[in-house]
Amino acid sequence: MNSSSISTSPVFAKSNLAIMMNWSDLFAGLALYLVIEGIMPFLNPPALRRAMSAFIQLNDAQLRIAGLISMVLGVGVLYFVRGH
């Protein structure tokens, strides 16, 4: 089998398309993250400062639990949205 038959095969083209779609999804997710992260400082900077001050008061274990909860919720939402 030569290299030209591999590059034109439907299986290769389909997997290549899937890889490109994943990158597109990644960049869309990053863009959405930036938009969401920018809402609070834009709308209410003093409240953001108070929230950051509250985060500084948390110990490492509390921050880790908050991070874990955030990750689990994010994975759950992705699972629900993607319908898998």
Whether residues 81 and 56 share a domain: the answer is yes
Question: Total structural domains in the chain?
Answer: 2
Whether residues 54 and 83 share a domain: the answer is yes
Whether residues 13 and 24 share a domain: the answer is yes
Whether residues 25 and 35 share a domain: the answer is yes
The confidence score (pLDDT) of residue 81 equals: 86
Which helix (H) or strand (E) segment holds residue 23: the answer is helix 10-43
The confidence score (pLDDT) of residue 54 equals: 94
Q: What is the mean pLDDT of each run of 10 residues along the chain (84 residues)?
A: 50 56 83 95 96 94 96 92 78
Task: State the amino acid at position 53 in one-letter form.
Answer: S
Q: What pTM does this model have?
A: 0.60
The confidence score (pLDDT) of residue 10 equals: 53
